[in-house]
């Protein structure tokens, strides 16, 4: 296959996969929100905290499982790949959550700002993680530090 045809096929396939992924998200997002709301009711934990803890775990389960399988090899390279993967997922989640959070307050001027500590801590963790991400390999101590963040 010539390069232009191959590029065209790759773009078509990627667009089709993004459309299918969007449809899957549209189908399952509302039931997922209902489940998370119910978990909050049962555990008596506010929905805000449930959404910032359980939702990322549920939506990133494949990356977490892949990182566990990499780390199970117990080599320096595989553990570094595992931590790098988790760092990327965390960075993406925090960026996405902060963007949605700030966007809601920009759109709705009637909302009362009560989340300075939460949003500031997310931003600080992201800044620390961006500095930590410059390392090429990680020790167990660095892994524990990242978990604590």
Q: What is the mean pLDDT of each run of 10 residues along the chain (149 residues)?
A: 88 94 86 84 83 76 84 83 80 80 77 77 86 78 80
85 and 135 inside one domain: yes
Total tally of structural domains belonging to the chain? 2
Rounded CA gap, 64 and 58, in Å? 10
142 and 76 inside one domain: yes
- What is the per-residue pLDDT for 14? 93
Token pair for residue 52? 């910032």
Rounded CA gap, 3 and 8, in Å? 9
Where are the alpha helices (H) located in 1-149, listed in sequence order? 3-43, 47-59, 61-72, 76-107, 116-132, 140-148
Rounded CA gap, 39 and 50, in Å? 8
Residues spanned by the domain of 86:
61-149
- Looking at 40, 59, 78, the residue that finishes a domain is 59
- What is the per-residue pLDDT for 133? 79
- What is the per-residue pLDDT for 15? 94
Rounded CA gap, 36 and 75, in Å? 37
- What is the per-residue pLDDT for 19? 94
78 and 113 inside one domain: yes
Cβ atoms of 104 and 119 closer than 8 Å = no
53 and 99 inside one domain: no
142 and 115 inside one domain: yes
Cβ atoms of 71 and 79 closer than 8 Å = yes
Question: From residue 45, how far is each of 39, 41, 52, 53, 104 by CA, in Å?
Answer: 8, 7, 12, 11, 22
46 and 76 inside one domain: no
46 and 103 inside one domain: no
- What is the per-residue pLDDT for 13? 95
pTM above 0.85, yes or no: no
55 and 80 inside one domain: no
86 and 128 inside one domain: yes
């Amino acid at each position: 296959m010539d390069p232009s045809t191959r590029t065209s096929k790759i773009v078509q396939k990627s667009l089709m996969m993004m459309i299918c992924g969007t449809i899957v998200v549209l189908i399952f997002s509302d039931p997922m929100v209902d489940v998370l709301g119910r978990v909050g009711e049962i555990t008596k934990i506010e929905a805000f905290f449930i959404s910032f803890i359980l939702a990322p775990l549920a939506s990133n389960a494949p990356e977490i499982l892949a990182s566990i399988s990499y780390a199970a090899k117990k080599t320096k390279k595989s553990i570094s790949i595992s931590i790098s993967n988790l760092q990327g997922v965390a960075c993406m989640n925090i960026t996405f959550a902060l963007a949605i959070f700030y966007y809601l307050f920009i759109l709705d001027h009637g909302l009362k700002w009560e989340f300075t500590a939460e949003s500031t801590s997310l931003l600080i963790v992201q800044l620390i993680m961006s500095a930590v991400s410059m390392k090429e390999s990680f020790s167990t101590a660095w892994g524990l530090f990242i978990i604590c963040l």
